[in-house]
Amino acid sequence: MFVYNMLMLKDEILKNAPAVGSTDGTPENEKPVVFTATHANGWKWTAYEAERVEMDDILCFGRVDGFESELGYFTVDELLENQVEIQVSA
């Protein structure tokens, strides 16, 4: 398993990521998965779109499976602050 530093991780996420909003109208099961993230509490994030925003963070759109399962926006920094494990898709 390759260990990323934060800047390398963000660059890897953005390498093949569609911009936020660019897959509107595409059925969810046909959207490319940019990365998945999991937390020890069982929550899972699946990012379908990602783009760099202010303060060198990355805004993502995707599915969050926690207490409920819903589509929404989240940032990579929010995930990292909560100690999730991020797996970038090839």
pLDDT digits 0-9 by tens, 9-51: 899 999 999 999 999 999 999 999 999 999 999 999 999 999 9
With H, G, I as helix, E, B as strand and everything else as coil, classify residue 64: strand
Residue whose entry in the numeric block shows the structure tokens 């995707």: 62
With H, G, I as helix, E, B as strand and everything else as coil, classify residue 9: helix
The DSSP code for 7 is H
Q: What is the mean pLDDT of residues 49-68?
A: 94
Distance CA 36, CA 63 (A): 10
Distance CA 21, CA 82 (A): 25
Where residue 55 falls among pLDDT bands split at 50, 70, 90? confident
